[in-house]
Structure 1
Amino acid sequence: MPDLGKIRRWCVALLLPVVMLPLTTLPAGAAPGGERPVVETDRGPVRGRSHGAYRTFEGIPFAAPPTGALRWRLPEPVPRWKGVRDAGAPGSRCVQLPVLAPGGPVGSEDCLFLNVTAPTGSSARGGLRPVMVWFHGGGFFSGAGDHYKPERLAVEGGAVVVTVNYRLGVFGLFGHQELGGAPGFALADQRAALRWVGANAERFGADPHNITVFGESAGALSVCAHLTSPASAGLFHKAVVQSGSCSTTTPPHALLPGLGTYEPFVPERRTVADGALAAARLGCDRPTGVMDCLRRLDARTLATPELMQGFSLVSYGNSALPEEPRRALEAGRFHRVPVMQGTTQDEMRLFLAQTLAAHPIGDARAYRARLELSFGVPTARAVEAAYPVSAHPTPAVAWATVLTDASFLCPTLRDGGALARHVPTYGYRFSDRDAPDFTGLPQAPGLPLGAAHGFELPYLFTLAPLTGPQRELADRMTGYWTEFARTGVPGAPQAPHWPRYRPAGPVLSLAPGADGIRTVDARTEHHCALWDARWPGVTSSG
């Protein structure tokens, strides 16, 4: 039998391999430096590092350590410190389990730190710079802000970039009746970081009234939640959603027969019921004082695969997130800010590649069986007609294409239509099928990764070497992203115009080469009318 727990960590962890990669390249103008600039924050001065064209201030606490009696409490303010606090290195990462390596938990519960990367000198345009606040991916049970090096966005794009840690797994998304439900500590941590940015942005040369939240995968799901959360009102002014829309859902048995539907947003009552069962298994089954009992347990006792993965879903049905985010979008109940969102062209290939050895798709018969298992016979026939094996290099590529369109591309376009009825919206598809594979994950015969989940990240962050044409694409993407943060309209020098998204309208395809950036009819290319009709639980309100 395959190790389903390990495979699930591979499939849901959403870009965790980024954590193991060293910094490989630096943008032009960056250089190590001995200067230690000091900035006065609202809690005390911090001493960062100068790198020539940019400065970094790392490991700044934005909330009190959520330890001891503060475990499973909403974040509290950091006490003011005396003297100058060293901000020359990242703070501790939040408690998590290694995804690809053996071993027990790593990180610390004292992990609510953020990192600031700011261009050196004044803005070429004058005035304060835009702020971009990054929420990392990792399936809500792994990852950290310092994995992502945003020098390109700062130096070339002129933005101040903040990367954030937030509580993960059972520490971040646990629920129990003694907590009054499932408060969503992970999202509360992110809100605390946004409040810190609002209070301190100007001290780093940035505009507290021009804050963009952006994230990929679980980070994108976080952005979606903030868009529809009353508790996040006024904390940001623009949003970028990368490969994790409000409607992202993977069908049952998509990767393995034993895996059910992946739904990132679940009713609070489900999380509370799971919390009661978990407390009983941990020996804290009692009429009262359950949380006191749980708070006395060591972090290593809590940081098991079952608890970290079991509590990696965001709860709705409470004051912070009253309704399922996709339903809120459909009803127009979200914050009126400009939104840029998109996916990669081959999202699901990365996840499917990790399960093919355990559950291969060797021929058309196996492909048809997968379709019927996940969608039922009538829908399977319609899907097979639209996605015949003969139109793809292998049955595995055909299945990955089905899953990408059903789980990511068409739900994202559907959300785009809901957003575009009320706010300026811009859609993209990252389409570089030669993008560097920086994941370290095993390859699968017959399934090239192409433009897989997260493969746009090296074009925004310093993660992997790029070819000449890819560097040109990275320059344009950096321009689009940072100009959107600056003005609400994505644009880049010598790059094609990016039109606003309209329901059933075109999106911008991003790839290297002379004609690599162009508009495409993604709804038609990815059979979204079929998914609207045949899988309404995900792509329509039916």
Structure 2
Amino acid sequence: MCAQPAGYPIGKPSTAEDCLNLNVTTPTGKHDELPVIVWVHGGSLMYGMGDLYRADRLAAGGAVVVSMNYRLGATSFLTHPSLPDSGGLALDDQRAALRWVRQNIAAFGGDPGKVTIMGQSGGGFAVCGHLASPASAGLFQRAIIQSAPCADASRTKAEALAESSEVIKKAGCADASDVASCLRDLPMAKLLEAYGTQREPRPYSGTPSLPLPVDQALRTGRFNRVPVLVGVNHDEENGMILGLELATGKPMAATDYRPAITEAYGKNAAAVLRRYPLGNSAGRTLATVKTDSTWSAPTLDTARALSRWTSTRMFEFAEQRTPWYAGTPKPSFPAAAQHMAELPYLFDLTLFEKLSLQQSTLANRLIATWTRFARTGDPNGGGEQPWPLLRDNGSQAGWHVQSLTSGTWKRADYAQDHHYRFWTTLNH
């Protein structure tokens, strides 16, 4: 794994710099010209490792699966005039893996002309970046984005420099005659300490490899136009709120709901409180608000932008009886389709409880669907209900979002369920 701090369950503390390796998982037996899924792990572009995601089950669905490590946090996103080409090395590492796949995957039974780049959360934001990057053109033929609204996939150079200036000062290198040499001479542990544990780094735009902000590239059609499957989980923020509950040892108090909304939404807090009155659980109500504002509405924005230029289908993973974290006390309200909830259905993840029989059946359906998309660019088939393209033609009727559960897959009442018009009006 690549260098990263402690403090996140999907990673491990590490100071390793010799870390750019990848894993290839193939179905049993001899195969040729299988679709290839290149997995970019999540972790806020701060944490994580490819090894965590055992891909035997996904590969058994009929694909060659490649996972990778890439530089994270400080080693990828520190930006300074003395550090040429810095500020987004994670995407460079991922491109190197994609080039390796193009050159070598046929030896593993994969088709270099049927490569799907797939990522979740931080990895999903990276996929957004590759869609917008001329440097990534031709390295993949399809894309799957899970839990990553593309509007948040890049930042400005000024933002990157401001954050990095703070880190460089904490590291004791701000007054060095050669800042780059000072940073390189630091023990990795000290650099990680200076960078901290709670950042959300992104590559900055205005470079040859990312000329436009990602959201602008998608809106204007200046991106790599491949078929895209983009989606979000119905209850994304449940995981974040329940994580705080586990950390503090108690559920969120009802008296904390209004202050939390005021802190998060400022001048719009009164409108948010009217739209989302406090329910039986303060934590669950706050999670619903933040899911809708931070994940659900922006993901539909992403799908609408993409659909104007390329084949786009959107999904919502909405299964309510999902595995909880293994060996962890049960929370005060169900995690449901929280952030990461779909991952134990696609990968063998010891982080979560083992799948039940019903959950395993859903896993097989998801894997078959993802594999069909990787093979053809169309997820339809396998006896599932039709999944139309999302079309942004001036009417909500075209905004088809497929609800994925253990029952029959069908169109979600997505815009109404997540108060889409409320948030788009509030945010503009």
What's the counterpart of residue 388 of structure 2? 499
Q: Classify the secondary structure of the residue corresponding to 1:404.
A: helix
- What secondary structure, in the 3-state scheme, does the structure 2 residue paired with 1:207 have? strand
Contact 1:338 1:488 in 2 (8 A): yes
Matches within 5 A, 1:37-52: none
Could you tell me how far apart the structure 1 residues matched to 2:410 and 2:136 are?
34
Q: What is the CA-CA distance between 1:266 and the residue it aligns to?
A: 2.1
Unaligned runs of 5+ in 2: none
Deviation track 1:275-308 (CA, whole Å, cap 9, x = no partner) reads 3443344333456422122212222221216346
Counterpart for residue 126 of structure 2? 222
The count of corresponding residues between Structure 1 and Structure 2 is 417
CA RMSD of aligned residues (A): 2.4
Deviations, residues 191-231 of structure 1 (Å, cap 9, x unaligned): 10000001101111111111100011101011011111122
Could you tell which deviates more after superposition, 104-113 or 273-282? 273-282
Asked if the contact 2:73/2:195 (under 8 Å) is kept, the reply is no
Give, as a single letter, the amino acid of the residue that structure 2 aligns with 1:178.
Answer: S
1:104-151 CA-to-partner distances (Å, cap 9, x unmatched) read 94251100000000123344xxx5111100000111111100100111
> Does the C-alpha gap of structure 1 residues 319 and 219 become closer, same or farther in structure 2, counting only changes over 3 Å?
same
Which residue is equivalent to 1:112? 20
Distance 1:383 1:508 in 2: 27
Q: 1:174 aligns with which of 62, 78, 99?
A: 78
Instruction: Name which of structure 1's ranges 433-442 and 210-219 shifts more when overlaid on structure 2.
Output: 433-442
Equivalent position amino acid for 1:522 in 2: Y
SS in 1 for 2:101: helix
Distance between the aligned counterparts of 1:528 and 1:432, measured in 2? 21
Shift of 1:322: 2.1
Q: Residues 469-480 of structure 1: matches in 2 within 5 Å?
A: 469-480=358-369
Which residue identity does 2:258 align to in structure 1?
A: R
Looking at structure 2, the residues matched to 520 and 311 of structure 1 have their Cα atoms a distance apart, in angstroms, of: 30
Q: How high is the TM-score relative to the length of structure 2?
A: 0.91
Secondary structure at the aligned position of 2:67 is classed as strand
The corresponding residue for 2:406 is 512
Within 1, Cα distance between the matches of 2:7 and 2:312?
Answer: 35
Structure 2 partner of 1:28: none
**Larger of the two Rg values belongs to structure:** 1
* Pair 1:523 & 2:415 matched: yes
Could you state the TM-score of these two structures normalised by the residue count of structure 1?
0.72
1:424 and 2:318 are equivalent in the alignment: no
Q: Deviations over 1:493-531 (max 9, x none)?
A: 222222211233121111113x3x211121121110000
Give the match for residue 362 of structure 1.
253
After the TM superposition, which residues 9-408 of structure 1 pair with which residues of structure 2 at under 5 Å, given as runs? Answer: 93-99=1-7, 105-123=13-31, 128-155=33-60, 157-180=61-84, 182-248=86-152, 265-286=154-175, 288-304=177-193, 306-307=195-196, 309-310=198-199, 312-356=201-245, 357=248, 361-363=252-254, 366-377=256-267, 379-389=268-278, 392-408=279-295
Contact 1:181 1:268 in 2 (8 A): no
The one-letter code of the counterpart of 1:199 is Q
Q: Is the 8 A contact 2:88 2:202 kept in 1?
A: no
SS of residue in 2 equivalent to 1:304: helix
8 Å contact kept, 2:4–2:72:
yes
Please tell me the residue identity of whatever aligns with 1:387.
Answer: Y
Specify whether residues 98 and 373 from structure 1 end up closer, same or farther in structure 2 by C-alpha distance, changes over 3 A only: closer
Local SS of the residue matching 1:490: coil
**3-state SS of paired residue (1:240):** strand
Identify the residue that residue 448 of structure 1 maps to in structure 2.
334
Inter-partner Cα distance in structure 1 for 2:327 and 2:134: 39
SS in 2 for 1:158: coil
Q: Which has the higher helix share?
A: 2
- Alignment CA distance shift 1:146-1:492 (3 Å): farther
Identity %, equivalent residues: 39
Looking at structure 1, the residues matched to 28 and 250 of structure 2 have their Cα atoms a distance apart, in angstroms, of: 52
Q: Judge conservation of contact 2:206–2:213 (CA < 8 Å) in 1.
A: yes
Cα gap change, 1:431 to 1:393, in 2 (>3 Å)? farther
The answer on whether the counterparts of 1:182 and 1:268 sit within 8 Å (CA) in structure 2 is no
Distance 1:324 1:135 in 2: 20
Q: Aligned pair 1:459/2:339, yes or no? A: no
* Residues 527-536 or 292-301, more deviating: 292-301
Aligned residues of 2:168 and 2:194 also touching (Cα < 8 A): no
2:413 and 2:182 map into 1 onto residues whose CA distance is: 55
Work out the CA distance in 2 between the residues paired with 1:316 and 1:408: 22
Q: Counterpart in 1 of 2:427?
A: 535
Gap change, CA 1:470 and 1:346, over 3 Å in 2: same
Alpha carbons 2:41, 2:120 under 8 Å: kept: yes
Contact 1:353 1:442 in 2 (8 A): no
**Residues of 2 paired with 1:319 and 1:269: CA distance?**
17
Unaligned runs of 5+ in 1: 1-92, 249-263, 537-542
